[in-house]
Amino acid sequence: MQADYVIVGAGSAGCALAFRLAEAGRSVIVLEHGGSDAGPFIQMPGALSFPMNMPRYDWGFRSEPEPHLGGRRLATPRGKVVGGSSSINGMVYVRGHARDYDTWAEMGAQGWSYAEVLPYFKRMEHWHDGGHGGDAAWRGDSGPLHVTRGGRQNPLTRAFVEAGGQAGYPLTPDYNGPQQEGFGPYDMTVWRGRRWSAANAYLRPAQKLGARLVRGFARRVVMTGGRATGVEILRGGAIEVVEARREVILSASSINSPKLLMLSGIGPAAHLAQHGITPLVDRPGVGQNLQDHLEIYLQMAAKQPVSLYSYWNLWGKALVGAQWLFTRKGLGASNQFESAGFIRSRAGVDYPDIQFHFLPIAVRYDGQAAAEGHGFQAHVGPMRSASRGAISLASGDPEAAPRILFNYMSDPQDWEDFRTCIRLTREIFAQPAFAAFAGAEIQPGAALQSDAELDGFLREHVESAYHPCGTCRMGAPEDPMAVVDPEARVIGVDALRVVDSSIFPRITNGNLNAPSIMVGEKVADHILCRSLPAEDVQPWIHPEWQTAQR
């Protein structure tokens, strides 16, 4: 039970890291508490609402009562399965905006500017453009991660992009290329009709190269004289230690990685002492800087029976499931998030700060369809909230869930931004492209117009987009709140890294799976003392951003 590198967590970053290290001839053990990802609920893209709500695949975390949301406790799903959250997510593939990474570099994460991370996005991707256009020079064509696009056959899906253009926004053939801003088709991590998780893309190839997958519950990092030397795990009712000859790497999620650091004596010293843990390294930033994306879905009734509601019954689901099972085609082969929008909330914002996911059915995340029947919805929310929360220990018991407080909507700008999101979405649904389809507004409902009415709706209905990050922030070694340096090494500890979305200094634009995998790819090169050359590229910025909202 020893290897050169012991990676805790077979998730998005951990799988990528395991593959690159094994490919370079290093011995690797990946520790994973969750079980197998076999079975149709995970592998069938159209069934995405199931694994996210199944205790077998999800850690089942919930936030503390959120003070600005009337004390609501929000679901915080994280993948407890091979592939981690890439096995239960919505499969939407978004790199983020170039400015996100330039901001990381400005915040002390030297070497993480867009010019420096773009080569890693290209190395990890095998992009299939499906004839939709885009700039191949910005995309990868031979990586392990297949990125495809849905068929976009539903008329509502096409109407959303058309309406964005009619509202005066730009259209973009590839938001992961030079121009994120605008409306266009979504990319998804689906290949040949199957979810292309990090387990499918990276872990299975890593195992063929000799990486070992060990099932067990990680309790803490074993420290010997300021150095990480192994991981204590619970396996089959017994406590064992998996030894790392070179390094221990935490890739356990932005919830569990800071928890494991604190259980190992690395974190805010006073907080650790409260829970009977001897502080070994006082890092006050561990668990702080928690960020997420919030969203609401604005739902409309459809005047024509063109939505996916036709299949929202036992027979319809059986038909879709059977077609997928036997052919890997049909509605089950897509996540149905096939149209995207990235816009700016107001003049003076230089790159998009609002994201749309369009869905040609009115349905909740828990799979409950709107009572009105045929409908459609746009998930919308601000990308760069100033609100910050924290992960802390509820107990010194490794098996106890951590305390998760996002502190959502604690910044007054959040409320203004969300009201803007609702009003801009209503404007898009009022465009001629939707004239034949749009009926009454189901949610929030056209009667809610004033700021106070919209705020009341938001307090009750805003939901997490499930993008937690930032809790082991990367920064300059002298930064007292940084947890890891720009090579993802835990500051003040030898032979220990954190490699997952915990290390994001600031949340990126859009869904976090792609940036998390990129972090695994890039840190693998830091470990192997190599790097890809930076690419000097200039992303598209709206020429009139200072004076125009669109």
Which parts are annotated binding residues for FAD?
Answer: 81, 89-92
Distances 59 to 52, 199, 402, 515 between C-alpha atoms, Å: 10, 18, 11, 22
Query: What H or E segment, with its residue span, contains residue 482?
Result: none
Give residue 282's identity as a one-letter amino acid code: D
> Residue 30 and residue 232: Cα distance in Å, rounded?
13
- Omega of the bond leading into 444 within 30 degrees of 0 (cis): yes
Tokens describing residue 217: 């519950």
Residue among 379, 467, 526, 542 flagged as catalytic: 467
The strand pair at 125-127 and 145-147 is best described as: parallel
* Structure tokens that stand for 408 in this block: 């959502």
Q: Is 33 a catalytic residue?
A: no
> 483: which 2 tokens?
């947890």
Angstrom distance (rounded) from CA 162 to CA 357: 15
Q: Residues within the annotated binding site? A: 81, 89-92
CA distance 42 to 527: 32
Q: What Å distances lie between residue 511 and 179, 186, 514, CA to CA?
A: 17, 11, 7
Question: What residues contact 369, with CB distance under 8 A and at least 6 apart?
Answer: 309, 312, 361, 362, 363
The three-point CA angle 391-393-395 to 5° equals 160
3-state secondary structure (DSSP) of residue 405 = strand
Catalytic machinery residues:
467
